[in-house]
Structure 1
């Protein structure tokens, strides 16, 4: 295993759900890496549970496409593929543009200040190699835009897409050159929302997502090239 994994116990959830959520988050956050084997006995020992909830969790993760079963190897963490990335971003791009446009109309002064603060927080971290903190700051910036829509259905869908994007976001942030570009885009989006410039904000958010897609695709192709060598 690449990193220590700890189950976050919740007395209101069945153990199988706790184990499932723990392994799911470990995959999405890169603690369990693409291609890594998921050995039931080792995971059970690490999480302090029996093999049964581990087995159930792996089956559910397979249904979500986060785990694949390989003959004679068992369960492994699914690779990050171009098709998966394009599928997620195709949906996310449209909904993020919609959310930003609605935010221009509905954002409160309090949320506008929070958005400014979130942008500044990312800027302070932009020279850091703490990718987890950078990702959290980036997520926070977008979460505030979602909240500004005051549309719970839209927020719920975007939150689900955000989780699916976590693995890809970390790949993007590993490229130090992307940090300044992200910071510049965040500033432009903030100023557009502040000024109520709906069309400008839609364009900037679309560009923001497109730049992310192109950078991650380049990283995926580079990783595939290294594997083939």
Structure 2
């Protein structure tokens, strides 16, 4: 893998160790590393926590967001819309993540922002594995739903009414 990515073995080893710590990989003696099975209950627990974090972030953003910050939330939403139309899965995922990272940062809670990075990675890996989907294609309906949610969140924050959007 290090040769394939044109890097030293240390970062590859550290990345594999981190995936193992997050239960995404398992070491099988005599075989090597294998991808772990997805625990649907654990996936549901991750989603529940993410929803709580996002509701909190929306509430905090309503309390103190600045106009330029609100405009920054519109940018990844526009990028997501473009990615959906262009069937660009990587750009769509990136836009979604950027939107939520901004949203978490507007909570003004550093711990929340740090925690959600790990949660997002775990959630995305689990979700893709559990759905057994073709990850090369954009599931347009799912991404369009997320894009509509982003627009609703922006509207709720603009109106300073967290109750307009609750997961």
> Could you state the TM-score of these two structures normalised by the residue count of structure 2?
0.80
The residue correspondences of 1:141-160 to structure 2 (distance < 5 A) are 141-160=99-118
Structure 2: gaps spanning 5 or more residues: none
The CA RMSD measured in Å over matched residues stands at 2.7
- Bigger relative CO (Cα 8 Å, ≥ 6 apart): 2
Structure 2 residue 161 is the aligned partner of structure 1 residue 197: yes
Q: 1:177 is matched with which residue?
A: 141
Q: 1:87 is matched with which residue?
A: 45
Structure 1: gaps spanning 5 or more residues: 1-42, 207-229
Query: 1:20-48 deviations in whole A, cap 9, x for unaligned?
Result: xxxxxxxxxxxxxxxxxxxxxxx244345
The residue correspondences of 1:50-129 to structure 2 (distance < 5 A) are 58-129=16-87
Give, in whole Å, the separation in 2 of the partners of 1:80 and 1:116: 33
1:49 to partner: Cα distance = 6.5
The 3 A distance-change label for structure 1 pair 46 and 103 is same
- Answer with 1 or 2: which has the greater Rg: 1
Give, in whole Å, the separation in 2 of the partners of 1:101 and 1:119: 19
Whether the aligned pair in 2 keeps the contact of 1:126 and 1:179 (CA below 8 Å) is: yes
- Residues 50-59 or 82-91, more deviating: 50-59
Helix, strand or coil at the partner of 2:27: strand
The 3 A distance-change label for structure 1 pair 52 and 125 is closer
1:53 to partner: Cα distance = 7.0
